[in-house]
Amino acid sequence: MEMLNLALFIVEAVAYFGLMVTLLHFRHRLGLGVFLTALGVMHFMETYLAAVFYVSLPFGDVSPGSSVFFSGKLMMILMLYLWEDAATVRQPIYGLFLGNLLTVSIAWVLQLHQPLQLASNHTPDVDFLKEMGWLMVWGTALLYVDSLGIILLYEKLGDYFRRRVVLRFMISGFVLLTFDQVGFFAALHYFLDVPIAVFWGGWKAKMLSVCLFGAMFAIYEYRIRRLGADAAARSISDVFGDLTFRERYNDLLERTGRDMLTGVYDRTRMELEAPLMLREALRQGLFATVLIIDADHFKDVNDGYGHLQGDEVLKAIAGRLGTTLRSSDRVFRFGGEEFVAVCPGTNHEEGLLLAERLRWTIATSVKTPDDRPVTVSIGVATADEDGVDFTTVLSAADRRLYAAKKSGRNCVVGHSGVVKLG
């Protein structure tokens, strides 16, 4: 029976290490959360088995929960540190600690209930839940100390065995799991009156686990991870991966080419997108109108109130443009205090009405620090009436903006002249 238990002990260690290393190996494809979740969900079972489930091995009575699964968790945390960083390592430790405190708190609250006994052989045992909760809190506190210790010891051993990664891995495991055995057995002895003989059997089992994990770590490190790096880099395609890639691509595309001050698209983005927008509108047999919006007397704002206040005025103008234009329109910062709006599916008359609405909205809502209104002048041109390519239409809009400036500002100018004077 003892040899069968030993064989099962080894199988459990190999299976645990194999599964967890696989999740860690593919963390960049599956997501690190998969590994961390698998690491965390076993915590209750580890603690429960360490408290009540023991088997007889040739060298003593041991619990697989402590000797295999908890020991494996600590070695996995060291491996996570080797391939990620300390900031990543602290995430599962803090999560486990807070989750276990929550378990204890819930157990205390549950005592206030008067539970129903639906079956005679299924009686709720809140005391057991509290007891397990405190054991898990103690175990997680030890895990925190163990994790710091195993990382620091591994790094310190690098001063002496820089190239002996596996040796450092195993020595760190031997030392910290010995410390852990002392700490966790003290809690078991206090809460559950576990006999002292279990301490030595558990310690020997943990040392055996470190040997097994160290051997598997060496195989993985030198035969799989290093030689199989190219294979690991291949993508694992599933619906979640496809969706994540698309979301990140769209987010990157959306943020690329943004003006840092106002948040609208910048001139480089305009030069890429605006010609395509006009061509697509014309291909569909639609008009496309281009507006150039320029803040009037903006130099006076900068000179009179400072550049920071000038920046606030520009951001306010950009905000009004964004809320007034349609979702199909695009706003770009052309340079300085000038903005360009491209409005596909908009003929010249509609473009003039839209420009006038923009002019009125800005004049009535954007103010200088002394409450004076900020006004804009707008030039309007439309494809294909003013040309069939973006450069030609933009040049026509720019000439009309200049005409609006000459006409006293705070107005809109189209191909028929001034639409409204301020």
For the segment 305-332, what is each residue's pLDDT rounded down to a tens digit?
999 999 999 999 999 999 999 888 999 9
Q: Whose CA is closest to 48, among 110, 133, 107, 145?
A: 133
Question: How far, in Å, CA of 142 to CA of 71, rounded?
Answer: 12
Q: Residue holding tokens 């945390």?
A: 77
Name the residue type at position 310: G
Q: What is the DSSP letter of 332?
A: E
Q: What is the average per-residue pLDDT within 49-66?
A: 85
Which residue's entry shows tokens 């520009």? 314
What value does the mean pLDDT take over residues 159-187?
87
Q: What is the dihedral of CA 392, 395, 401, 407, to 10 degrees?
A: -100
Mention every residue, 6+ apart, whose C-beta is less than 8 A from residue 351: 289, 291, 343, 380, 382, 414
> Nearest CA to 169 among 120, 223, 128, 209?
209
Per-residue pLDDT band for 420 (boundaries 50, 70, 90) equals low
What average pLDDT score do residues 21-38 get?
Answer: 86
pLDDT for 252: 57
pLDDT digits (tens, 9 = 90+) for 325-382: 988 899 999 989 999 999 999 999 999 999 999 999 999 999 998 899 999 999 999 9
User: What DSSP line would sit under 177-196, residue for residue?
Assistant: HHHHHHHHHHHHHHHH---T
**124 backbone φψ class: left, alpha, beta (φ>0; ψ -120 to 50):** beta
Residues 79-116 have pLDDT tens digits of 988 877 677 777 887 887 787 778 778 777 877 887 77
Give residue 209's pLDDT. 93
Tell me, which fold does domain 256-420 have in CATH?
Alpha-Beta Plaits (3.30.70)
Q: What is the pLDDT of residue 244?
A: 52
| Residue 168 to residue 151: CA distance in whole angstroms | 10
DSSP one-letter string for 357-412: HHHHHHHHH-B-TTSPBP-EEEEEEEETTT-SSHHHHHHHHHHHHHHHHHTTSS-E
Numbered ranges of CATH 3.30.70.270 in the chain: 256-420
Least-confidence region, from 41-55, 154-168, 276-290, 305-319: 41-55
Q: Are 103 and 133 in contact (CB under 8 A)?
A: yes
Q: How far does CA 79 lie from the centroid of its chain? A: 22
* pLDDT reading at 123 higher than 80: no
The DSSP bridge partners found for residue 380 are 291
Lowest-confidence region among 26-30, 118-122, 309-313 = 118-122
Asked if residue 225 has pLDDT above 70, the reply is no
pLDDT tens-digit series, residues 280-308: 999 888 999 999 999 999 999 999 999 99
Q: What pLDDT does 81 receive?
A: 85
CA distance 348 to 356: 12
Is there a cis peptide before residue 384, judged by omega within 30 degrees of 0? Answer: yes
